Amino acid sequence: MSTQPLLEAKGIKVRFGIKKAQKWPWDPVPQLKAVDGVSFDVQPGETLGVVGESGCGKSTLARALIGLVPVAEGEVWFDGKKVDHADPAAMKALRKDVQMIFQDPLASLNPRMTVGDIIAEPLRNYYPEWDKERIVSEVRAMMAKVGLLPNVINRYPHEFSGGQCQRIGIARALILRPKLVICDEPVSALDVSIQAQVVNLLKDLQREMGLSLVFIAHDLSVVKHISDRVMVMYLGNQVETGSSAELYGNPSHPYSRALLSAVPEPDPEGERNKQIILLEGELPSPISPPSGCVFRTRCPSVGEQCSIERPLLQSLGGTHHVACPRFDVAVAS
């Protein structure tokens, strides 16, 4: 892989004003801290998995990377260019190289457009000089790549299954030959057998087209299968990052260990004997997160210093980093 990251995020923060949370009209509008200082990079041809429970900021982070929600603080660099707060012309150029696959395959497709028009729309926007024959040829070629028969080009989204609709969404995202694809839980709405087909399709297309992926999912087994590196998020914060082998083989943050303990094992004996870590307490509000370590209110290894200051990521060697002020105690517990 290249030493120059394709995508680099530096201290990304995303805030949403919650007017309904104001006690009085003249009070400052409370800020929901959806993403709170996340930093990472993605190398060319690499897949970064992003995991965490609902509400941890995964999807908001994805939308911030592509400019769908504004970045309050921090920087986003793509292919050596700073792209956060870019002007409309720069964002249009960016979206040619950065595309997104959404969670709900049917809701992300226009029900009044045929499959051919849905996939061709990006081409018409970026290559208005192309004639109809060339566009149709490109669309048919991409449909073949994602496993759709060319004779369905004039059908509408409601005529397809969920897995087929997601293939249409993938074809639309890849028709411009982007460098990076952000996959926002692309298989969570699909049956398990269809999930495997879509994940394997993405891996095949990645090898064929040289794609980089940011893959967001709840299913840690799927993330392990497709990802080179994995980032764990909790309440808008990044708590652990490492290669797939490092994180799954030796989870070091208490939250990562709790997440991985819930992953089913294929071996019945191992499933019966494994210890599941149950987290106590409620998920704190992102409007007023805990001081210091945001995980301290649910952490089994909490100490006095955990409430004093926010822990920074510390290196464990290689690509493995953890944000825990009591790392040695957390691992030993």
Higher pLDDT residue, 159 or 330?
Answer: 159
| β-bridge mates for residue 8, sequence order | 41, 77
Q: How far is residue 204's CA from residue 209's CA, in Å, rounded to a whole number? A: 9
pLDDT digits (tens, 9 = 90+) for 4-16: 899 999 999 999 9
pLDDT confidence tier of residue 301, bands split at 50, 70 and 90: confident
In the predicted structure, residue 74 carries a pLDDT above the cut 90? yes
In the chain, the domains with their CATH numbers are: 7-227 (3.40.50.300), 249-333 (no CATH)
Residue 273's Cβ-side half-sphere holds a number of Cα atoms within 13 Å equal to: 5
∠ CA 303-305-309, nearest 5°, is: 135
In the predicted structure, residue 330 carries a pLDDT above the cut 70? no
- Work out the percent of the chain whose per-residue pLDDT is above 90: 63
In the predicted structure, residue 182 carries a pLDDT above the cut 90? yes
pLDDT confidence tier of residue 328, bands split at 50, 70 and 90: low
pLDDT at 271: 67
Is 196 exposed, middle or buried (CB count within 10 Å of its CB: 0-12, 13-18, 19+)? Answer: middle
pLDDT digits (tens, 9 = 90+) for 251-264: 999 999 999 888 87
177 to 10, 85, 105, 169: CA distances (angstroms):
26, 24, 20, 14
Q: Considering only 107-116, 196-205, 225-234, 306-315, which range has the smallest mean pLDDT?
A: 306-315
Question: In the predicted model, what is the mean pLDDT of residues 135-159?
Answer: 95
120 to 46, 131, 137, 201, 284: CA distances (angstroms):
27, 12, 10, 20, 44
In the predicted structure, residue 329 carries a pLDDT above the cut 50? no
Question: In the predicted model, what is the mean pLDDT of residues 228-240?
Answer: 95
Q: Considering only 128-132, 147-151, 323-327, which range has the smallest mean pLDDT?
A: 323-327
Higher pLDDT residue, 106 or 216?
Answer: 216
Q: How far is residue 13's CA from residue 31's CA, in Å, rounded to a whole number? A: 11
Question: In the predicted model, what is the mean pLDDT of residues 189-204?
Answer: 90
What global pTM score does this model have? 0.91
pLDDT digits (tens, 9 = 90+) for 17-42: 888 877 778 788 888 999 999 999 99
Question: In the predicted model, what is the mean pLDDT of residues 258-284?
Answer: 80
φ, ψ of residue 165 in degrees (nearest 5): -65, -35
For the chain, give the mean pLDDT: 90
pLDDT confidence tier of residue 1, bands split at 50, 70 and 90: very low
Structure tokens at 73: 């603080």
